[in-house]
Amino acid sequence: MSDAQPYIPNMGDDTWDERYRGSYRVELKIWWREVDRALLFLILALMAIGTAAVAAASPASAHRLSTAATQLPELYFYWAHLRWQALGLVIMLGVSLLTRDNARRIGILLALAMFALLMLVPLIGHEVNGAKRWLKFGMTLQPSEFLKPGFAVALAWILSVRLRDPNLPVMWIATGALIAVGSLLMLQPNLGGTILFCGVWFVLALLSGVPVQRLGLVVAAAVGLLTMAYFWYDTAHNRINDFLGGGSAFDQVDLAQRTLLAGGWTGSGLWLGIRKMTLPEAHTDYIFSVIGEEFGLIMCGVIVALYLAIVARVLVRLADEDDLFTLLAGAGLVTLIGGQAFINIMVNLQLFPSKGMTLPLVSYGGSSTIAICLTAGLLLAITRRNPFLTRETPGLRQLLFGKGDVQ
């Protein structure tokens, strides 16, 4: 028996083929072992809350958007949201199965494709409420929503290239990409989206080791541009004036704050809210206020805690990561989710000018729901980790507290 040859399974063997060759069960087991299940649970919890929130807001929006010719059912947006959420959930889980390399490739291709479409928006875009942000190709598409995750991943890849060639001017390339995207967004106009893209750039530049002095100059330039926007950009001028002046009883931000506080700590109960009926965009931009009226300020606090938990969980996951691209991409994607949530909640609290930005994973939306689920899927894919793999480098801690520079 000592000279017996080891058994090599025949590739045509049904048992071998079933168990090892392209087995979906094996892939799912690997995914379940490597995916951040805590992060997945937090994302699903927010989506579940969003389902209930859209059900609460749907009657108000359906009543407001109904006409004499067309009467929308009270739960019109709720049933539509369920369909979008189901599609988004499939996309999120499907994307989370990707390897990091494939997630990077998908993100870069997505950025290039959406940037090309973004250039078409000023030319053939569809205008809604004075903003030209959508394209109509049989279905309505908002390229800037899908550009967000692609931009974060592509920017992370550009900045991570410095490890292979420190002489490449990666910072200038990244800044040029931001200026190009920001210029196209301001043509729509979309000041809120521009601020969010700038936030992602700032976080990734900071983590890449850009000297604080250089970032200070960039921040000063951004303040200067915002000042120019106030004087020469009518939408920004009017919204900032309304914000600084405290608004009026008929101002949408003031209505949102009144609606938010109307339910007290425990809320008035599902479909028992009254103020939401006068609130514009109750199912999208101001859904946080609807949650406050019908489910109470305690539930609003739970939602804020969930967003903070998502950000904290990703940072903990990245703390000992030794791959620069993974560090930057994960940080950029979670900045998108946390930053957009922060802006939306601040608007509802009347602490920030109105931005026309949805509450991620909660608000109703077509493009926005699919795009945020795609963002979450890329985040889950990039933060996947073999639990048996040990890390010997300080990862994010080194970037935050160590020294580094970017050309």
pLDDT for 83-141, tens place per residue?
999 999 999 999 999 999 999 999 999 999 999 999 998 888 777 766 788 888 777 88
The answer to whether position 18 is within a domain reads: no
> What pLDDT score was predicted for residue 16?
43
CB atoms closer than 10 angstroms to residue 260: 24
The answer to whether position 33 is within a domain reads: no
The answer to whether position 325 is within a domain reads: yes
User: 379 with 91: CB under 8 angstroms?
Assistant: no
Helix (H) or strand (E) holding 157: helix 143-160
Quickly tell me which residue has 């915002």 as its tokens.
226
Q: Please count the structural domains in the chain.
A: 1
Mean pLDDT of the region 311-332: 90
First to last CA, the chain: 64
**What domain range is 78 assigned to?**
42-385+393-401
The answer to whether position 37 is within a domain reads: no
Which of 11-25, 180-194, 250-264, 392-406 ranks highest by mean pLDDT? 180-194
Quickly tell me which residue has 């010997």 as its tokens.
392
The answer to whether position 189 is within a domain reads: yes
Q: What is the dihedral of CA 249, 253, 255, 257, to 10 degrees?
A: -120
The answer to whether position 22 is within a domain reads: no
pLDDT for 336-359, tens place per residue?
999 999 999 998 888 887 777 899
In this prediction the pTM is 0.85
Mean pLDDT of the region 292-299: 94
User: 149 with 110: CB under 8 angstroms?
Assistant: yes
> What pLDDT score was predicted for residue 171?
84
Give the span between the Cα atoms of 140 and 369, in whole angstroms: 13
The answer to whether position 95 is within a domain reads: yes
Per the structure block, which two tokens stand in for 161?
A: 């290239």
User: 370 with 383: CB under 8 angstroms?
Assistant: no
- Which of 81-90, 154-163, 192-201, 349-358 is predicted with the least confidence, judged by mean pLDDT? 349-358
The answer to whether position 78 is within a domain reads: yes
pLDDT for 29-74, tens place per residue?
888 899 999 999 999 999 999 999 999 999 999 988 888 788 889 9
